[in-house]
Amino acid sequence: MMPRQYKPSLVPVAFILTLVVLVATLFTGQQVAQGMTGIWQLLTGEASPYQSIVVWQWRASRALGALIIGAGLGVSGAVFQSLVRNPLGSPDITGFNVGAFTGVLLSIAWFGNVYWMSVLGAILGGLCAALLVYLFAYRDGHSGFRLIIVGIAISATLTAFNQWLSLSVSLETAMTAALWSAGSLNGMTWSRILPAAILLILLMCVALAMNSRMKLLEMGDDTAAALGVSVNKSRLALMFVGVSLTAVATAITGPIAFISLAAPQIARRLENNASISLTASALVGAMLLLAADFLAQHAWQGITLPVGLVTISLGGLYLVYLIVREGRL
Amino acid sequence: MSLNSSTLLAAESVTLSYDQTIIAKDLSVQIPEGKFSVIVGPNGCGKSTLLRAMSRLLVPESGKVLLNGRNIHEQTTKDVAKQLGLLPQSAIAPDGIKVMDLVSRGRFPHQKWFQPWREEDQNAVDAAMAATHITDFAQHHVDQLSGGQRQRVWVAMALAQQTPVLLLDEPTTYLDIAHQMELLDLFQDLNQKNGHTMVAVLHDLNHACRYADNLIAMKDGHIVATGKPNEIVTEDLIESVFGLPCLIIEDPISGTPLVIPKSRQC
């Protein structure tokens, strides 16, 4: 809705890269889609049933999951970084995903491994963590920096709580939780990914609809209110959407670090744009998670790593890069 | 009061407080339409608090603020933003934002959900930038501008709102004297040529006397005097409001009161 700028944006490049990774994800692997003819047969439906199942049932659902979850995490990060006015104010730093994990652990401990209960537990856990951070950081209003510091503290506390919980539940529950806690896209079948995908897309639409309000809030509460934004209502709604996006994503895959933190900042640089853009953050988030999952599946011969491990390693590299760059300035 | 013009904006016996500390009690003020009103008073006398109450940012404990005859708190934020623009002290320019983008944000109250950018929005933005003489750097980054230029960008954003009333909270703070005068001249132009009703909180008494049609002097949450500077500004008034002994002469340029403070040694 704002007038476009004329500086070249690198977002189309990111889009093309995403498509390339998508094609690579779908058609890389032994005994499937040998050469261009193999790919053509898969696209036209002439391939053998075995190949079709591998590509269209197993890989495509996993790739779609990576794209949508990555986009959701990117948008969630963008919303929080904008609200807190700080690039560190992302839900994986302030511990909302750890809170979501706590919710899942409790739900597994009480109700067993029931998918929808885990999703619900994750959302409630994420919201409770957000509420805790919000309450502890309150002192005559909120400063973004205090929210981050308190968030890091709550995150550490909840991590300890999660470990205690994993130790005190039954072995079976602990095993399920441990598998889940690595953050993985394994077993993303269509039936598992579709409901969550729809929920994530709805939440992203709400975030997009609130985009202009979010941008006005970046200019300070008084300025936003003077321009006709209901400050408290808008901020609460945005926080709810942001937490829910992270929580739903966490519920399906387990905690995946780094995407929420990095996607909005990378998107900002790609777009040559001042403010954090939701659509570009979604695209970059999707690209990052898909690429990380590709690495997780193919980087080590014969071993599929949890994607959370790849993103956390990439996140470490990214942080080192940030520190080096800051050091040079 | 000697002002006969109608009022767009008025506070009716409002009690204002922050964190249970009462700043102003039973305060009433009328802002004359089409005039340039200036609020003066010592630090902490409640000037900015009054401005916040009159712009719907602060809910009064009791009493009410009327905008166009209706209680401002019974109108939605967006409706208020179509009638009244505010330049707060605390505005933050997002990193690296361009001038035109910032000014464009003033169009928010006129836009509906999912409405595309319209020609009338662009026209309002162009007019606001022309009125504040910032058209030439529409594509510059706001953080590259000087303090005076930046302040004009914020004014342009409020102008793009196209509201009949504009409230300005200490708009000249942190500017050098030339930029202060430039900005005040701009406000006078907007008031006289475009007919905006302006209310500004200013610290400099001589600026206030020169530019105000209507001066509002405040102390300890009360309004001590209102009226034309020529009619109300006296040595006694300044002494009682600011506790500052002074001499008042006629400004040789504008004929308005010129306040010359006395120091201990002379």
pLDDT of residue A15: 85
Question: Is B171 near chain A, with CB under 8 Å?
Answer: no
Please say whether the beta carbons of B166 and B14 come within 8 A: no
Indicate the helix (H) or strand (E) that contains B238.
helix B235-242
Q: Please tell me which residue of chain A has the smallest CA distance to B122.
A: A3
Of the residues A7, A84, A139, A223, the best mutation for testing chain B's interface (the one with the most B CB atoms within 10 Å of its CB) is A223
Q: Are A226 and B93 in contact (CB < 8 Å)?
A: no
pLDDT of residue B148: 86
Residues 215-254 of B with CB under 8 A from A: none
pLDDT of residue A326: 60
Sheet hosting strand B84-87, strand order edge to edge:
B84-87, B165-169, B197-201, B36-40, B214-219, B222-227
Structure tokens at A327: 């050091």
A:B CB pairs within 8 Å: 90
Q: How far is A325 from chain B (nearest CA, A)?
A: 18
Q: How far is B259 from chain A (nearest CA, A)?
A: 33
A216 contacts on B by Cβ (under 8 Å): 105, 108
Region of poorest pLDDT, from A28-37, A76-85, B50-59, B84-93 = A28-37
Please, which residues bridge with residue A195 across strands?
Answer: none
Please say whether the beta carbons of A79 and A279 come within 8 A: no
> Mean pLDDT of all residues in chain B?
90
Residue B179's pLDDT band (cuts 50, 70, 90):
confident
Nearest to B116 among A1, A209, A225 (CB): A1
Strands B197-201 and B165-169: parallel
Distance (Å, rounded) from C-alpha B197 to C-alpha B3? 14
A230 contacts on B by Cβ (under 8 Å): 76-77
Distance (Å, rounded) from C-alpha B156 to C-alpha B52? 20
Instruction: Please say if the pLDDT value at position B85 is more than 90.
Output: yes
Going by C-alpha positions, the residue among B86, B235, B92, B100 that lies closest to residue B161 is: B86
Question: Is A7 near chain B, with CB under 8 Å?
Answer: no
Give the three-class secondary structure for B226.
Answer: strand
Please say whether the beta carbons of A292 and A318 come within 8 A: no
The pTM score is 0.85
Q: Are B117 and A1 in contact (CB < 8 Å)?
A: yes
Region of poorest pLDDT, from A142-151, B27-36, B62-71, B205-214 = A142-151
A218 contacts on B by Cβ (under 8 Å): 92, 94
B141 contacts on A by Cβ (under 8 Å): 274
Q: Please tell me which residue of chain B has the smallest CA distance to A210.
A: B113
Q: Are A223 and B91 in contact (CB < 8 Å)?
A: yes
A226 contacts on B by Cβ (under 8 Å): 55, 57, 81, 85-88, 158
Residues 67-126 of A with CB under 8 A from B: 85
Tell me what percent of chain B is helix, strand and coil, each rounded to the nearest 5: 40, 30, 35
CA B254 remoteness from chain centre: 21
Nearest to B77 among A85, A230, A275 (CB): A230
Spans of chain A, pLDDT less than 50: 1-6
B67 contacts on A by Cβ (under 8 Å): none
Q: Please tell me which residue of chain B has the smallest CA distance to A272.
A: B96
pLDDT of residue A7: 58
Nearest to A227 among B79, B94, B105 (CB): B105
Q: Are B93 and A219 in contact (CB < 8 Å)?
A: yes
Q: Are B108 and A140 in contact (CB < 8 Å)?
A: no
- Note the pLDDT tens digit of each residue in B182-221: 899 999 999 999 889 999 999 999 999 999 999 999 999 9
Question: Is A232 near chain B, with CB under 8 Å?
Answer: no
CB atoms within 10 A of CB B13: 12
Q: Are B81 and A228 in contact (CB < 8 Å)?
A: yes
Question: Is A326 near chain B, with CB under 8 Å?
Answer: no
* DSSP 8-state class, residue B134: -
Question: Rounded mean pLDDT of B29-47?
Answer: 92
CA B24 remoteness from chain centre: 19
Question: Is B80 near chain A, with CB under 8 Å?
Answer: yes
Q: Are B105 and A222 in contact (CB < 8 Å)?
A: no
The H-assigned helical ranges of B55-172 are 77-83, 99-104, 119-131, 147-160
Indicate the helix (H) or strand (E) that contains B30.
strand B21-32
Q: Are B77 and A228 in contact (CB < 8 Å)?
A: yes
CA B6 remoteness from chain centre: 19
Distance (Å, rounded) from C-alpha A251 to C-alpha A266? 25
Q: Return contacts of A10-16, CB within 8 angstroms, 24+ apart.
A: A10/A270, A10/A271, A10/A272, A11/A267, A11/A270, A11/A271, A11/A280, A11/A283, A13/A270, A14/A267, A14/A270, A14/A280, A14/A283, A14/A284, A14/A287, A15/A283
Question: Rounded mean pLDDT of B100-109?
Answer: 93
pLDDT of residue A54: 77
pLDDT of residue A34: 65
B86 contacts on A by Cβ (under 8 Å): 222, 226
Q: Are A212 and B97 in contact (CB < 8 Å)?
A: no
pLDDT of residue A75: 96
Q: How far is A186 from chain B (nearest CA, A)?
A: 38
Distance (Å, rounded) from C-alpha A156 to C-alpha A107? 20
Of the residues B54, B77, B114, the best mutation for testing chain A's interface (the one with the most A CB atoms within 10 Å of its CB) is B77
Instruction: Please say if the pLDDT value at position B4 is more than 50.
Output: no
Residue B3's pLDDT band (cuts 50, 70, 90):
very low
Q: How far is A209 from chain B (nearest CA, A)?
A: 7
Structure tokens at A186: 């394994």
pLDDT of residue B76: 92
